[in-house]
Amino acid sequence: VRVEPTTLEFLARLAGGVVVGDATTTIRSAWPLADVQPQCVTLVEDAKRGHHAASLGAGAIVVREPIDGLSLPQLVVRDPHAAFAAIVTWFRPPCDRGPEGIHSSARIDPSALLGEQCAIAAGASIGAAVRVGSRCRIHANVVVMDGCVIGDEVTLMPGVVLYPNTVLEDRVWIHAGSVIGAFGFGYRTRQGVHTRAAQLGYAHIEQDVEVGACVTIDRGTYGTTRIGRGTKIDNQVMIAHNCQIGPNNLICSQVGIAGSCRTGEGVILAGQVGLKDHVTLGPRTIVGAQAGVMNDLDGDAVYLGSPATTQRTQMQIFASQQRLPEMRKTMKQLQQAIDGLQSQLVALSEADDPHAEPVKAA
Amino acid sequence: VRVEPTTLEFLARLAGGVVVGDATTTIRSAWPLADVQPQCVTLVEDAKRGHHAASLGAGAIVVREPIDGLSLPQLVVRDPHAAFAAIVTWFRPPCDRGPEGIHSSARIDPSALLGEQCAIAAGASIGAAVRVGSRCRIHANVVVMDGCVIGDEVTLMPGVVLYPNTVLEDRVWIHAGSVIGAFGFGYRTRQGVHTRAAQLGYAHIEQDVEVGACVTIDRGTYGTTRIGRGTKIDNQVMIAHNCQIGPNNLICSQVGIAGSCRTGEGVILAGQVGLKDHVTLGPRTIVGAQAGVMNDLDGDAVYLGSPATTQRTQMQIFASQQRLPEMRKTMKQLQQAIDGLQSQLVALSEADDPHAEPVKAA
Amino acid sequence: VRVEPTTLEFLARLAGGVVVGDATTTIRSAWPLADVQPQCVTLVEDAKRGHHAASLGAGAIVVREPIDGLSLPQLVVRDPHAAFAAIVTWFRPPCDRGPEGIHSSARIDPSALLGEQCAIAAGASIGAAVRVGSRCRIHANVVVMDGCVIGDEVTLMPGVVLYPNTVLEDRVWIHAGSVIGAFGFGYRTRQGVHTRAAQLGYAHIEQDVEVGACVTIDRGTYGTTRIGRGTKIDNQVMIAHNCQIGPNNLICSQVGIAGSCRTGEGVILAGQVGLKDHVTLGPRTIVGAQAGVMNDLDGDAVYLGSPATTQRTQMQIFASQQRLPEMRKTMKQLQQAIDGLQSQLVALSEADDPHAEPVKAA
């Protein structure tokens, strides 16, 4: 952590922007709004938050467009996120050196093949017949079991476990605590006793996939569970055996995907979504948080609710549900009105002909 | 991985089946439909998929009943899953040797007792007064804390953690990253400050239970959290303190069971189900995905929805929900029809007696 | 485990209570009702359960108020939980010694600073520039990455991973398998390809926080993800980047909190609740199990359902949903009644004037 302060002018040169206000202002640090401190510069994405930043005591702000009538000096830049990232990095340069070389306590089976410039940290285990590409970083206490195949520039954060025969392509990044290739939840049941199905497949994760922390991706029964290139998976996601996840999907936290599901390119699943087994989602399907998908869905559309339906229908259903108690009241009133009308009719028909029977309802 | 090809005839002898079509067909590998490759044999469970296999370029299929009019050679067997498993195993014999003996980097407390032929892998820790049965396989970086009691032929996959005094009976299998016997989420709150309740119990897992990856099963407050014999638990399931789970249950991924719940024999909980604390489920209760169980449920029945109700009722509720927007429209039309009738009645009664007051509704 | 039996009188002295019934009764152990054994003492919190305890064969019970007409001897105490905890501890003294000193296989970077009387167990890794306070217990295979700052009397259970720069204040307790400070799920998407956002922040956990097993708390983008003092977090909870969780919250199992949420003091989130990103909950907000919070909520109130609404409204909605199928039937009956009335009206108006046109509805 850097302790000496600087000027806003210096940061403007660093980030490639223009100062509106006093460029000689002293800046001691850089923090987002939630952590604002005196004499720090902060990021303002929404012009309405400019005065909020001032009231919190920030020393200056980074913005895309200058905000009128603001007492704080402003650093105006084309890409505020990139600029703020550069400034934060200047004040707090990342201190993570990561592993270097092969630690003496790493256990590497003699039959494993390692590429150039791999780092393997303390307590990591590399099993028999494993192949690892070049420039991989395998952190502390990772376990790579027998027969795994790992591409170049793969990062496995601490405690990751790869079951036997897992395949990771280039630049895959897996966060701590995730388990790839464990057994699928498949059993044959006879007379109430469950016997495990075949576990002869493996998990295959294509290039540029990022997998969050504490994720589980099970192996296929006979072949692959596959995650398509460029797909990003958040923490605590569960992907079951035989799934074929398409490329460039975004799968948010705590999503559960049952066995043998398929997704197309660019699918987005929001938090806590569940997919029934054998469901197929078309390209660019978007499913809202907590939805439960029971059937195949066409792509290029948004779905909500459990069971999931189109956004348009589900928004109407949600709105109607909010009015359900009122609807029940209205129904009672309608019933009363009908009873009243019935009485009036009887009275009227009797007045018309006191001796006649009232007309029967159809 | 075996690279030399063989003939379909050879595979028929291996798997005990009959070839319909050209038995001399060359087969290079065996893959499920999702991973089909040229000249490979694939499994067809549903006759409709036979032509799909052909269109994907498979070289032959394994089926129970021959499919008429199919251009592909067919290997007809009584149990296609068993046959296909044998064939896949021939082409890709499992390469997982697993741990053997006791690794020099395993830390075993001198007071621990190990049975015969146990394998304890690198980086595993066995605490004080632990007892382990015979032929157990304890994989890399497993932590068995003080006082645990483990039966025969137990398998603990990499990174499993057993808190003190956990009991595992024979043939229990726990997958990577699971934590058994952690503290229950029980607090006493005074003036807004939470103080931890007693944590004097433990987790007791009966024989033949399989526990998936990243599962958490908390200890009892004073006694057991118990998982009944033969029960199978999928990844990322949470079972809270004091639960008494019955035998031969199937508990799917991401299910959450709050404290002190009980289930009977053969209960099935689908993915992402939640159980409120102190709920009891009768034998063979089945609860559908994402359902929320708020009350005790009778066994031998299927329940859906949140709050969970019987399948029959919930299917009607789901269907009605889909029609809620339409119901709201219909109600407005009914209101208009009633208003219309009211006007007609007024007109009629006035026509009947122009000077009379209209009859009042009851 | 203690094997010699004792008398109820001895336990009454131990726990500070009075015996109603035979104080010379032999007691061999202490178990909760779910685990009751002959000649054991058990805890009865609810007077109705007293006869249940007798029928299960318990030897005596611990109660707050004596139960009339019960054949079992009773140990009457002011605080039955505290008394029962003392008795259970006497029969089964906790055997967990925990780690002591610094194990030879622990890897501690030379630049790390450790306080007094810290225990660091086998296989643990302490990274560069880490600072650890006094009397901390760091269990087996924990990984503390570079630049972390840890207060006094912190406990990290086996396998916990702290990403670089994580801050833990005094008396924080983190259970096995949890991952603190992993990357936030933030990407910029251009032409369908996702690029990771800045990961320059860290996780800051204030004093007296307890974090369950397999929890994930991501780092902030530029600053903190913060957990307020005294907050308790159950297993498998997910807290995303930039969240600011207030003090003394209770966050139950499998809750998912999306990015940049804020909660006030004393908030309670029940199991499997989901919060949309950027949501703010007022102090003492209570959210029921499986609810989905889409908007800011005022404090001092209870909310249920997905989307979450006030308890009062949601209970009415739940009740109405149960009656939805019935409501649809009623609507059909109303329609029929209206049709009947319409026919009657037509008949009546024709009877009134056989040649006249029926009155038109308004």
Q: Which of C161, C192, C274 sits opposite A159 (nearest CB)?
A: C161
* Rg, chain C, Cα only: 31
Give the chains touching C; criterion: ≥3 Cβ pairs < 8 Å: A, B
Q: Tell me how close the Cα of A109 comes to any Cα of chain B, in angstroms.
A: 11
| Residue C215 CA: distances (Å) to CA of A178, C235, C251 | 12, 6, 11
Q: Which of B194, B226, B344 sits opposite C359 (nearest CB)?
A: B344
Interface test with C, best of B166, B167, B178, B179 (most C CBs within 10 A): B179
Q: Tell me how close the Cα of A216 comes to any Cα of chain B, in angstroms.
A: 7
In tens, the pLDDT along C286-324 reads 999 999 999 999 999 999 999 999 999 999 999 998 888
| Residue B267 CA: distances (Å) to CA of A190, B234, B300, B303 | 15, 14, 9, 12
Q: Do A349 and C345 touch (CB under 8 A)?
A: no
Q: Do A143 and B176 touch (CB under 8 A)?
A: yes
Q: Do C266 and B222 touch (CB under 8 A)?
A: no
Mean pLDDT of C166-172: 98
Q: Tell me how close the Cα of C25 comes to any Cα of chain A, in angstroms.
A: 43
pLDDT of C117 > 80? The answer is: yes
On chain A, the residues whose CB falls within 8 A of the CB of B98 are 146
In tens, the pLDDT along A275-304 reads 999 999 999 999 999 999 999 999 999 999
In tens, the pLDDT along B7-34 reads 999 999 999 999 999 999 999 999 999 9
Q: Do B235 and A145 touch (CB under 8 A)?
A: no
pLDDT of A258 > 50? The answer is: yes
pLDDT given for residue B101 in this prediction: 94
pLDDT given for residue B291 in this prediction: 98
Catalytic one of A81, A241, A278, A355:
A241
pLDDT given for residue C352 in this prediction: 63
On chain A, the residues whose CB falls within 8 A of the CB of B349 are 344, 348
What does the block give as tokens for A240?
Answer: 């079951």
On chain A, the residues whose CB falls within 8 A of the CB of B341 are 341
Please choose, from the candidates B213, B220, B207, B203, the residue with its C-alpha nearest in 3D space to the C-alpha of residue B163. B203
Q: Do B34 and A323 touch (CB under 8 A)?
A: no
On chain C, the residues whose CB falls within 8 A of the CB of A348 are 348
Q: Which of A159, A187, A327 sits opposite B328 (nearest CB)?
A: A327
Nearest CA in chain C to B345: C345
pLDDT given for residue A361 in this prediction: 45
Residue C333 CB neighbour total at 10 angstroms: 12
In tens, the pLDDT along B177-187 reads 999 999 999 99
Nearest CA in chain C to B188: C81
Nearest CA in chain A to B81: A198
Angle of the C80-91 helix axis to the C8-15 helix axis, nearest 10: 120
Please choose, from the candidates B185, B184, B137, B145, the residue with its C-alpha nearest in 3D space to the C-alpha of residue B161. B145
* Rg, chain B, Cα only: 31
What pTM did the predictor assign? Answer: 0.94
Q: Which of B147, B254, B340 sits opposite C95 (nearest CB)?
A: B147
pLDDT band at C361 (very low <50, low <70, confident <90, very high): very low
- Measured distance between the N- and C-terminal CA atoms of chain A, rounded to whole angstroms: 86
Q: Cβ(B177)–Cβ(B214) under 8 Å?
A: yes
pLDDT given for residue C3 in this prediction: 67
Contacts of residue B165, Cβ cutoff 8 Å, sequence gap at least 6: B146, B147, B148, B149, B181, B202, B219, C95, C96
Bond from prior residue into B38 cis (ω within 30 degrees of 0): no
On chain B, the residues whose CB falls within 8 A of the CB of A182 are 157, 175-176, 212-213, 235
In tens, the pLDDT along A207-243 reads 999 999 999 999 999 999 999 999 999 999 999 999 9
pLDDT band at B359 (very low <50, low <70, confident <90, very high): very low
Helix (H) or strand (E) holding B93: none
pLDDT of C43 > 80? The answer is: yes
Q: Which of B121, B159, B253 sits opposite A240 (nearest CB)?
A: B253
pLDDT of A263 > 90? The answer is: yes
Q: Do C361 and B344 touch (CB under 8 A)?
A: yes
Distance CA A177, CA B153 (A): 26
User: What's the whole-number average pLDDT of chain B?
Assistant: 94
Size of interface B-C (CB pairs under 8 A): 227
Give the chains touching B; criterion: ≥3 Cβ pairs < 8 Å: A, C
Contacts of residue B249, Cβ cutoff 8 Å, sequence gap at least 6: B228, B231, B232, B263, B265, B266, B267, B268, B269
pLDDT of C196 > 70? The answer is: yes
In tens, the pLDDT along C3-35 reads 689 999 999 999 999 999 999 999 999 999 999
Distance CA B336, CA C187 (A): 52
Q: Is A81 a catalytic residue?
A: no
On chain A, the residues whose CB falls within 8 A of the CB of C159 are 141, 159, 177
Give the chains touching A; criterion: ≥3 Cβ pairs < 8 Å: B, C
Interface test with B, best of A125, A131, A339 (most B CBs within 10 A): A125
Interface test with B, best of C29, C234, C269, C353 (most B CBs within 10 A): C234
Distance CA C328, CA C323 (A): 9
pLDDT given for residue A362 in this prediction: 40
Q: Tell me how close the Cα of A357 comes to any Cα of chain B, in angstroms.
A: 18
pLDDT given for residue A3 in this prediction: 67
Q: What's the gap between Cα C144 and its chain centre?
A: 26
pLDDT band at C273 (very low <50, low <70, confident <90, very high): very high
On chain B, the residues whose CB falls within 8 A of the CB of A306 are 290
Mean pLDDT of B165-192: 97
Distance CA C328, CA C325 (A): 5
Nearest CA in chain B to A309: B322
Nearest CA in chain A to C158: A159
On chain B, the residues whose CB falls within 8 A of the CB of C361 are 337, 340-341, 343-344
Q: Which of A35, A176, A248 sits opposite C179 (nearest CB)?
A: A176
Q: Tell me how close the Cα of B102 comes to any Cα of chain C, in angstroms.
A: 16
Nearest CA in chain C to A347: C348
Mean pLDDT of B297-305: 97
Q: Which of A35, A103, A123 sits opposite C224 (nearest CB)?
A: A35
Catalytic one of C139, C175, C204, C241:
C241
Q: Do B222 and C85 touch (CB under 8 A)?
A: yes
On chain B, the residues whose CB falls within 8 A of the CB of C311 are none
In tens, the pLDDT along C89-102 reads 999 988 777 888 99
In tens, the pLDDT along A135-177 reads 999 999 999 999 999 999 999 999 999 999 999 999 999 999 9
Residue B24 CB neighbour total at 10 angstroms: 10
Q: Which of B32, B235, B321 sits opposite A221 (nearest CB)?
A: B32
Query: What length does chain A have?
Result: 362
